[in-house]
Amino acid sequence: MLIISDNDFLCRKFHEIIQEGNFKNTNFTFSISPCSKIEDFYISKEKDLFVYNLKKTDDVDFIIQNFDLVFSIHCKQIFPVTLVNGIRCINIHPGYNPMTRGWYPQVFSIIYDLPAGTTIHEIDIKLDHGKIIARGTVEKENFDTSETLYKKILNKEIALLGQNLKSIINNAYETIDPESDGNLFLKKDFKNLLELDLREKTTVGAFIKKLRALTHGDFKNAFFIDPKTKKKIYVSLNLQIEDDE
């Protein structure tokens, strides 16, 4: 089994699940894409970590010839048709399919009041589109930002992985078809949200919701253009719940 990821946290948690489970008959290989650096992954201290570029035919052919199963965990690469058709490929997606397919699903979950959660699914030729193996929602609060909601989703992903990994490895699971094509959000859709129009008329609620969706730690997401300097002024939201008395 090949695990390919660009998320250090999930790699470490996946490794913990393997260590706690009984997977003696399965060999696990961890890898990353060229988008990441090996030194950024803690697991590289315990295991060899490989780099596979899915745009390279030689890398794709090697994977097909040497593995029985590929598991994508927040991999930033698109799986090519030859790989999907040549070997069983599974994806864990930080969105509730088919409602929030694509990039940064927690952002669009907040903005459009869509379910937030995670989905384990077979990979087909469309983005976050294949048959669903397991999925679950997380509770979304009015004080959640992109960052806090994403952390909830990560924890849900770890739980679903632990519950379903053995059946996935043994190819002993049932799937359901997505109810529809749902919503597909691309990276350009996210970028189109970032610039705030100072002349836009909206409600306080809608504006707060947008800033919640675009606030993610130290990331510089939402901005407006200063009319005087013509420079970007970045904006984020700081929310604090009232203490119980």
Name the residues annotated as catalytic: 93
Cα 122 from Cα 129, distance rounded (Å): 8
Give the residues across from 216 on adjacent strands.
none
CA–CA distance from 200 to each of 115, 209, 222, 230 (Å)?
27, 15, 14, 18
Structure tokens that stand for 129 in this block: 């589109």
Q: Which of 6, 173, 189, 38 is nearest to 101 (CA)?
A: 189
Q: Are 104 and 90 in contact (CB under 8 A)?
A: no
Structure tokens that stand for 161 in this block: 């992985």
Q: In 3-state terms, what secondary structure has residue 79?
A: coil
Query: What phi-psi label fits residue 238: left (phi over 0), alpha (psi between -120 and 50 degrees) or beta?
Result: beta
